Structure 1
Amino acid sequence: MALLQVNVFSNVLEMEVMLDVILPQETKKTLGTNSKGATEDVAVLYLLHGMNGNHSVWQRRTAIERYVKDMDLAVIMPSTELAWYTNTRYDMNYWTFIAEELPKICHELFPQLTRKRARTFAAGLSMGGYGAVKLGLRKPENFAAIASISGGLTIAEGIDQLLEIKSKAYWEGIFGPLAGIKGSENDLIHLIETLDASQAPKFFITCGTEDPLHQASTYTMQKMQDRGYDVTFEDGPGEHDWVYWDHWVKRVLEWLPL
């Protein structure tokens, strides 16, 4: 198992971007990590950070490297700033970067990564849960499974909650006028209602029962169920913190259809 800290240039963002990458490696090591790492058609998980994180936060706050040591799974952890995986109104195209450019960069740098939809996944926490679900709904042809941990999934329905977190200027810099989010390409509930569920990946949604975003997760799950999506919902005691996220990312990894 190799851990790489990668600095790449994004033509879309016109800036350097950092990635942490966990990559299976064939070794003679007998203790601690798998010695039979896959070297071709390696399954890949794009693991997205939340509002206060960056490319390194999953590595620093969880045991993600240890959790995947026997899975023959590459984990790509990009830094995407505070842009909500969106092409912002201030002309930084983070959606295009994460949905289109990043996979191309990763396949160029790591040719052993799979190109098969059936072995490509995305997951994230909080803002990253929103980003992962957005990838699954807008790029369903690319992903077999999507997981949201404590995701901010109902931004169009929760404008007041958004304004408790950051200023109106911040949100409008990303999404434009707040009244225009509902029914747009950035409204996950709208995307759920318009996508043919038979074309969608499978979804896993979890959120702590003491988390302010718990209702957003249950509401999104119900909308998916009503439309016939393959969605698994699990919750348990927990708040919006790394104790919950470290525990539940293990469950997400178990759930992935490897």
Structure 2
Amino acid sequence: MAFLQANIYSNVLGMEVMMNVVLPQRTEKLIGTSTAGSTEDVPVLYLLHGMGGNHSVWERRTNIERYVSNRGLAVIMPSTDLGWYADTQYDMKYWTFLSEELPEICQELFPQLSRKREKTFAAGLSMGGYGAFKLGLRQPERFAAIASLSGPLNIAARVEDLLLIRNEAYWTGVFGPLDEFKESEHDLLFLLKEALKEQKNLPDIFLACGEQDPLLHASEDVSRALSEAKIPHFFETAAGGHDWHFWDEWIQKVIDWLPLDEAETFERSGN
């Protein structure tokens, strides 16, 4: 595998942005770390960070490079600050950057990356899980699978919880007036309802959260809504909190779950 640290310029954000990238590379080594895989039409995972993190946090807190070393999977880990993958009210268009500009920049810099839906995935932890779901619900034609680890996926229904984390001025700056949050473009349950109404072909969905995580209710709410709509999905809980012990273990399960081999049949659990 090749590990790259890239400084890119975003015209959308009007600033330099950092991202880490893991790319498949054919190697032959003597210490058991040889890697194999295609270097053309490479499947790609957009892996998003949570609040307080940045482009480096997945590489520093997990063994993500080793986990994908023999999977032929590229991993794009961008920094998006505390913007909640939204086009904010303070004119920082993180959603447009993530959903439109970043894929084009990656294609320009790494033309071996696939453009095919069946080879494009998104995942993230906490705020990044929210971002991954937002990508899958708003752009289902681009993503074959999305995964959330400990994501605050129901925040529009529990805006009072937001004020326990940061003050109202911050949240209003990101999302706009909180009394208008529900049924807005930032409300994932509303986006899910609209996608179903429009009969969109949704990506495969993976949800996991620790049983001691204060955000467990969010994954439960989304799983319940998916079940009521008869949308197959994977949802599992296990011992753990809102921490890297849980995320390091479960990102490995996400990678195993991704449909990286089109000839292989992957089991999907509908809860």
TM-score (norm 2): 0.93
1:112-140 CA-to-partner distances (Å, cap 9, x unmatched) read 00110001000000000000000000000
Structure 1 residue identity aligned to 2:139: K
Q: How far apart are 1:69 and its partner, in Å?
A: 0.8
Aligned length: 258
Q: How far apart are 1:198 and its partner, in Å?
A: 5.0
> 3-state DSSP class of the match of 2:208?
strand
* Partner in structure 1 of residue 228 of structure 2: 226
Q: Report the Cα distance in structure 2 between the residues aligned to 1:39 and 1:231, rounded to whole angstroms.
A: 30
Please provide the CA RMSD for this pair: 1.0
Amino-acid identity (%): 59
Structure 1 residue runs of 5 or longer lacking an equivalent are none
* Partner in structure 2 of residue 12 of structure 1: 12
* Partner in structure 1 of residue 202 of structure 2: 200
Q: Report the Cα distance in structure 2 between the residues aligned to 1:230 and 1:87, rounded to whole angstroms.
A: 30
Say whether residues 1:135 and 2:135 are aligned partners.
yes
Say whether residues 1:39 and 2:34 are aligned partners.
no
Residues 35 and 216 of structure 1: CA distance in aligned 2, closer, same or farther (over 3 Å) = closer
Q: Report the Cα distance in structure 2 between the residues aligned to 1:181 and 1:93, rounded to whole angstroms.
A: 17
CA contact (8 A) 2:189 2:222 kept: yes
Q: How far apart are 1:170 and its partner, in Å?
A: 0.4
Q: How far apart are 1:95 and its partner, in Å?
A: 0.2
Q: How far apart are 1:38 and its partner, in Å?
A: 1.8
Structure 2 residue identity aligned to 1:251: K
The 5 A counterparts of 1:1-258 are 1-196=1-196, 198-258=200-260
Q: Report the Cα distance in structure 1 between the residues aligned to 2:29 and 2:3, rounded to whole angstroms.
A: 15
CA contact (8 A) 1:201 1:230 kept: no
Structure 2 residue runs of 5 or longer lacking an equivalent are 261-271
Structure 2 residue identity aligned to 1:61: R
- Report which stretch shifted further, 30-39 or 124-133: 30-39
Structure 1 residue identity aligned to 2:212: E
Q: Report the Cα distance in structure 2 between the residues aligned to 1:64 and 1:170, rounded to whole angstroms.
A: 31
> 3-state DSSP class of the match of 1:164?
coil
- Report which stretch shifted further, 196-205 or 92-101: 196-205
Q: How far apart are 1:226 and its partner, in Å?
A: 1.4
Structure 2 residue identity aligned to 1:124: G
* Partner in structure 1 of residue 266 of structure 2: none
Q: How far apart are 1:30 and its partner, in Å?
A: 4.5
Q: How far apart are 1:230 and its partner, in Å?
A: 2.7
Q: Report the Cα distance in structure 1 between the residues aligned to 2:179 and 2:53, rounded to whole angstroms.
A: 27
Q: Report the Cα distance in structure 1 between the residues aligned to 2:140 and 2:238, rounded to whole angstroms.
A: 28
1:89-111 CA-to-partner distances (Å, cap 9, x unmatched) read 00000000000100000011000
